[in-house]
Structure 1
Amino acid sequence: MPSPAVDDYLKTIYHHTEWQDDRITPSQLAAELGLAPSSVTEMVQKLAAQGLVTHRPYGPVALSADGERRAAAIIRRHRLIETWLVREFDYGWDEVHDEAEVLEHSISDRLLERIDERLGRPTHDPHGDAIPDAEGRVHREPFVLLAAAREGHAGRVLRVSDRDPALLRALVGVGVDVGRTVRVHDAGTVVVVDDSAPVALPEGAAQAVWLTA
């Protein structure tokens, strides 16, 4: 049965391996959700009993095939709603996450399909995150985290983390947005955007921006 709490767990596990390969640990899951480790351990055991995750004591947590499908479905809802709010209601990309967190649990499948159709079946949300299709499939280009990109690397901005709204606003202020071409200088602290003059990035940007590899 639908459960916002279960969906939040599955989304967090799904998110963790979207842009890197290490599986999430229970302690990381607790930190991400802002919950006590004991509560997370209990829920992970319930999710495993439902066949939504795989987990061994003291080991990392991974989605099962059923868990992956359910996580992709709620991620699809969240990211379509974010895209809808930006395109149709002129929300900023720093404003949509919390709204989508509420709406993803309340709109019907019929309305979601109408939104998807109206938007032209988008494949990525305003932050560059892939929107799973109705079957849960996604397409991602090869990528590199800005902090790991070598000096001189040039790539298109694929994704910007939506975790920190203030950072999103600061990045817009220096011209860094999804789709921009960036050339890396000074270990990712200074970049050239679209062949303009070098700009210093706000603190935390190097860990929040992904480029084409």
Structure 2
Amino acid sequence: MMTFKPAAALALALLGAGSASAATDPLGDFLGTYTGSLSANLDFVSADARFTGTHFNLSLKTAGAIGGLPGSLYVIGINRGAGTPRLNVLSDPDLDPSVRWDSLAVLLPDGTLRVVTFPPAGAPTITPIFGGAVVNGDTISASVPVALLPTRGFAASSYTFQAWSRLRVNPAADGLNSEIADFGPRIFAAVPEPASWAMMIAGFGLAGWSARRRTPRLPPARA
């Protein structure tokens, strides 16, 4: 069993620290253009994104337990710097032109995560990660490697995110925008605050000092 000294534990805990990035969303605000079931598990309550340096930790909370609604899925549009208002060109009705993205994280209730990136031209790249989405009651979350989302102009810490829920009529393919149930708030990924970075560095330093103190001293060599 691995054990941690207090200083090391503090440093590890601070690796996940960040400024508050969670944003709330009003209850019952289904889009007027949506024509599907008004199920609570398609109604966002809050969204959160955190940047760890190697991953984006994304989390969505809904008004009801996730699962049990065939065709339901949760999409997070990500703007890496080349975002376009793609939801306005897919089909009628047009949606908010300020919603811009060039990649997606698609979270499915069965635990599948799909990371989709759109090149300047040609077909998108889709990377499925089975078990990459985690459902816990009314919350679905995923940890997306930064390596799957290379920059298109923004620094990774400046990517923007916006989520929407969808109820597909055809589970095998996206359909009309009338399948989009709710838009969550637009958020920026939180990064560790300067004070957290300073505490983390101090924690690592203290851990190293403690380790040196525990290093046994060898007796002097005899000629």
TM-score scaled by structure 1?
Answer: 0.23
* Structure (1 or 2) with the greater helix fraction: 1
* Structure (1 or 2) with the greater strand fraction: 2
Q: Which has the higher contact order (CA 8 A, sep 6+)?
A: 2
